[in-house]
């Protein structure tokens, strides 16, 4: 069965990332999307409870709650395919910071158990690897929802991009304050900001940082951006579960673990064989000659065993055992 599908058969909704300073219009933008289930880590959506697009809210900053919530949405979609049109994450910054805090707590407990000073504890390479793994897994779950016709809208705080000029650092731009690779997964990335009109009234604007739909060009400035500006670019009619990026990741992980386990087993067999053959050859030099002949029959040598797969190594092992234990 082919893994390929006709391009017209692949379901896809929009994946949006909105970042900016506090009160710059990010949450308002997310609420222009239809049938929203929201993960709210900052209680910011409490002020929009009357919005007709906002159906359900999960007030949590837990990454594990996020995973459980996404699974819950999948189950709902299996029963009612059009029950959810949009899932929002407000904000990705808070979820990311929470993941770092949890990882640091784990490092501190580990340091304490080993008698080290917890005040000197920092995130290790291992912890950053865990953060990367969690972030990637959650992103794949979001992409999976998008493939089922559900819009993904994430918000984030902004961080300054600074450059050293002389002896001082100058702000030369802005970026979302999130895991650094996260923006690559989004179709549209917008930086929100406010400015006053000629009458002193506050206006909400967004600068386009990325737009795969080509609705706008990078650098375009949009006043009061909303979902309807991109609505016709995506296929949000849900026809069933045709793709599962989250499951693909789990399956690939299982396969990798299985392969690593097989490689470990193969290496242990080879090490044991080399040790036993060496010991037996000291007692009887003819043993080494017989084993060399047997290895040639398998078109390999003792040093070439590592290039074979596990099943072949096990087959050769059985033949060598017969040579080493002729009376059994």
* Predicted pLDDT of residue 254: 53
Q: Half-sphere exposure of 313 toward its Cβ, with a 13 Å CA cutoff?
A: 22
Tokens describing residue 135? 């972030």
DSSP H helical ranges for the chain: 26-30, 63-79, 92-113, 125-147, 245-283, 285-297, 310-324
What gap in Å lies between CA 27 and CA 142, rounded to an integer?
19
Tell me the pLDDT tens digit for each residue of 267-314: 888 888 888 888 887 877 788 888 888 888 888 888 888 888 888 888
Tell me the pLDDT tens digit for each residue of 188-207: 999 999 998 888 888 999 99
* Predicted pLDDT of residue 120: 66
Q: What is the pTM of this model?
A: 0.65
Tell me the pLDDT tens digit for each residue of 130-182: 667 777 777 788 888 888 889 999 999 898 888 888 888 888 888 888 877 77
Ranges of each domain in the chain? 11-235, 252-324
Share of the chain above pLDDT 70, in %: 81
Q: Which tops the pLDDT comparison, 186 or 44?
A: 186
Q: Which tops the pLDDT comparison, 236 or 124?
A: 124
Q: What is the CB neighbour count within 10 angstroms for residue 245?
A: 15
Q: Which residues, 6+ apart, have CB-to-CB distance to 152 below 8 Å?
A: 13, 14, 15, 16, 86, 87, 88, 89, 142, 143, 145, 146, 186
CATH architecture type of domain 11-235: 3-Layer(aba) Sandwich (3.40)
Q: Which tops the pLDDT comparison, 156 or 328?
A: 156
DSSP string, 98-164: HHHHHHHHHHHHHHHHTT--GGG----HHHHHHHHHHHHHHHHHHHHHHHTT-EEEEEEEEEEEEEE
- 94: pLDDT confidence band, cut at 50, 70 and 90? confident
Q: What is the CB neighbour count within 10 angstroms for residue 238?
A: 19
């Amino acid at each position: 069965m082919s893994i390929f599908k006709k391009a017209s058969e692949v379901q896809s909704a929009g994946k949006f990332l909105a970042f900016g300073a506090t009160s710059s219009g990010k949450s308002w933008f997310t609420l222009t999307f239809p049938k929203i289930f929201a993960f709210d880590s900052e209680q910011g959506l409490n002020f929009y409870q009357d919005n007709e697009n906002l159906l359900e809210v999960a007030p949590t900053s837990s990454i594990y709650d996020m995973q459980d919530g996404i699974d819950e949405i999948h189950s709902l979609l299996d029963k009612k395919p059009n029950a959810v049109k949009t899932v929002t994450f407000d904000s990705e910054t808070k979820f990311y910071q929470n993941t770092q805090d949890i990882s640091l707590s784990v490092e501190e407990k580990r340091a304490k158990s080993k008698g080290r000073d917890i005040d000197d504890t920092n995130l290790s390479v291992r912890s950053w690897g865990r953060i990367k793994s969690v972030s990637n897994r959650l992103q794949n779950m979001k992409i999976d929802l998008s493939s089922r016709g559900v819009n993904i809208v994430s918000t984030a705080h902004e961080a300054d991009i600074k450059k050293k000029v002389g002896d001082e650092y100058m702000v030369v731009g802005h970026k979302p304050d999130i895991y650094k690779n996260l923006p690559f997964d989004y179709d549209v990335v917008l930086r929100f900001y406010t400015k006053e009109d000629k009458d002193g009234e506050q206006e909400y604007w967004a600068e386009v940082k990325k737009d795969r739909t080509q609705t706008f060009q990078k650098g375009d400035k949009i006043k009061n951006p909303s979902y309807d500006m991109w609505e016709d670019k995506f296929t949000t009619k849900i026809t069933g579960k045709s793709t599962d990026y989250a499951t693909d990741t789990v399956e690939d992980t299982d396969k990798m673990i299985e392969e690593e386990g097989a490689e470990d087993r193969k290496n242990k067999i080879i090490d044991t064989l080399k040790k036993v053959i060496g010991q037996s050859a000291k007692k009887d030099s003819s043993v080494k000659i017989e084993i060399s002949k047997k290895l040639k029959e398998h078109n390999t040598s003792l040093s070439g065993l590592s290039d074979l797969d596990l099943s072949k190594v096990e087959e050769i092992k059985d033949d060598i055992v017969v040579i080493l234990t002729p009376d059994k």
